[in-house]
Structure 1
Amino acid sequence: MIGAQLRRARQGAGLSLAALSEVTDVSIGAISNIERGTSSPSIRTLRSLTNALGISIGDLFGEGGEPSRPSPEFVVRRDDRRRLRFWRTGISKELLTRVEQTNIELFYLTIEPYGSTGDAYTHRGEEAGFVIEGLLELTVDSETVVLREGDAFGFRSDRPHSFSNPAGQWARVLWVNTGNEKEL
């Protein structure tokens, strides 16, 4: 699902695998494996690819199921959420907003025990979040904090950041990204 969406975006931008590789410093083989669905990218790699293609991570989410009941364009019903699973990192995201309608991406993150984004990454925009359940270890610049249920955070996305679940229980986080920067 994510690979097919990424391939469509790359081809729509008129870029070859080699050209995208050159711009992102992600190997041709790695991009090909992601597009074929044989490899799961880290969030950092995915950010690099989407930034180079001029799209948001939200654009890679598959379509939700058939709408369960008619809804206004500004509503996303529970059963109609778009889902993206980073199986290598132990993180899954559900997109709670329609990226076509707003520059705000609202995500419901589920992080497996000891799941992690890996290395720090940056991108345009801002982000904020609220820990619903479990623990979230968040590093921004070189400062690391452990957030618990009920704790919140916010920072500019151009600051190097990463996160993980340092515990043996699942973590759930409501996460907001801005800077989708699409033509509305």
Structure 2
Amino acid sequence: MIRPLINSEFDVGAALKLKREQAGLSQRQLAELAELTHVTIANVESNRSAPSVATLARILDVLKLTFSEFFTPNLPSMDKVFYRKGEFVPLASGDCEILQVGPGRGVAKLQVIKTRYRPGAETGPEMLKHEAEEGGVILSGEIELTVGDRTEILGPGDGYLFRSNQPHRFRNVGNTDCTIVAACTPPYL
């Protein structure tokens, strides 16, 4: 399952509590608006559990924040044009690594990401669903992509393009890492 980027320098629970309080919401109100349980919000804020990308996306949507804004307060501006591989903005790590080119949502109208799924990694048990269009090309490995009631296994050189308001999920079904370069507009993460 994809977990948002969490490192020793970033306290997800404290950051979420601060952003929730700045929005004037109780844990119960945030949970209701994000269609989650109060316990989920409490566990994330106390760092007892790390949220999946889908769960954190639901929370951040309510707070009108992007992943980039949440994890990287000092985003690059649109004045920057070229990005070296060490300058990508990390959005998730672990079994699924997501690196963003440039500032992404909130600044740019297009989000470009490079994603690496380790064998067995997936976006989580919940299907993702958001207002956007996304597409990508598989550079290496295999990915099982489910969009609505359709599922395909894609390999190197294969691509996808769909409206993201359809429930969707990514899962590496192969024995090697799967690397994808993708774009989403408007940005989602």
Which of 108, 111, 117 is the equivalent residue of 1:111?
117
2: CA distance, partners of 1:63 / 1:29: 27
Give yes or no for the alignment of 1:81 onto 2:88: yes
Counterpart residue number, 1:20: 30
2: CA distance, partners of 1:56 / 1:162: 20
Residues 147-169 of structure 1: CA deviation (Å, up to 9, x unaligned) = 10111111111001001000121
Q: 1:140 to 1:23 in 2, by over 3 A?
A: same
> Sequence identity, in percent?
26
2: CA distance, partners of 1:38 / 1:62: 22
Which of 161, 172, 181 is the equivalent residue of 1:165?
172
What pairs up with 1:3-18 in 2 under 5 angstroms?
Answer: 3=12, 4-18=14-28
Are 2:67 and 2:91, in contact at CA under 8 Å, matched by a contact in 1? no
Residue identity in the other structure for 2:84: R
Give yes or no for the alignment of 1:101 onto 2:111: no
Counterpart residue number, 2:157: 150
**Structure 1 residue runs of 4+, over 6 Å off?**
none
What is the number of residues matched between the two proteins?
175
1: CA distance, partners of 2:130 / 2:116: 21
Residues 12-38 of structure 1: CA deviation (Å, up to 9, x unaligned) = 322221110111122223223323444
Residue identity in the other structure for 2:24: G
Q: Compare relative contact order (CA 8 Å, sep 6+) and give the higher one, 1 or 2.
A: 2
Q: 1:52 to 1:43 in 2, by over 3 A?
A: same
Q: What is the RMSD computed on CA atoms of the aligned residues?
A: 2.6
2: CA distance, partners of 1:112 / 1:6: 28
Which of 130, 136, 156 is the equivalent residue of 1:123?
130
Runs of 5+ consecutive residues of structure 1 not aligned to the other structure: none
2: CA distance, partners of 1:173 / 1:20: 33
Counterpart residue number, 1:30: 40
Counterpart residue number, 2:147: 140
